[in-house]
Amino acid sequence: MGNYSGFIILIVLFAIMYFLVIRPQKKQQQKHAETLKQLQKGDHVTTIGRLHGIVDDINEEEKTVTLDCDGIYLVFDLNAIAKVTARVADAKSDDSDKEAKEEK
C-alpha cells in the first residue's frame, strides 16, 4: 500500500485541479465563443484593451470585426472582443417597452 500512496495523491491532486481550474475555464471559453457567434451589427462591445465601440461590420472569412468608436472605424480580430455590453435586440425591446408604457 505504501508504494501506491504517492500515485493516489497525484491522482487526487489532478482531480481537484480539473474541477477547480480546467473545467470552469473550459465553460467560460465556450460561453465566450457562443457570444461571438451571436454578435450582430449595432451591438455595443468592449475589447480586451477596454475600448468601447459599436459593431459596424463582421467579416466571418477573415474573422475580423469593424468597430465604430465615435466616428473612428477600427478593425479588430474577432477574439479581441472581451464582452458585449448591450445587444441590438435588447435595446429594441427596451425601446418598445418604454413606448408601450407611454401609450398607457
Entry pTM: 0.66
- Rounded CA-CA distance 25/23 in Å is 5
- Angstrom distance (rounded) from CA 67 to CA 47: 10
Query: pLDDT (tens digit, 9 = 90+) per residue, 44-60?
Result: 999 999 999 999 999 99
Q: Are 44 and 90 in contact (CB under 8 A)?
A: no
Among 18-27, 29-38, 87-96, the range scoring the smallest mean pLDDT is 87-96
Alpha-helix runs per DSSP H in the chain: 5-17, 23-37, 88-103
Residue 85 falls in which region: left (phi positive, over 0), alpha (psi -120 to 50) or beta: alpha
Q: Which residues are paired to 62 by β-bridges? A: none
User: What is the model's pLDDT at position 1?
Assistant: 59
> pLDDT digits over 31-46, tens only?
999 999 999 999 999 9
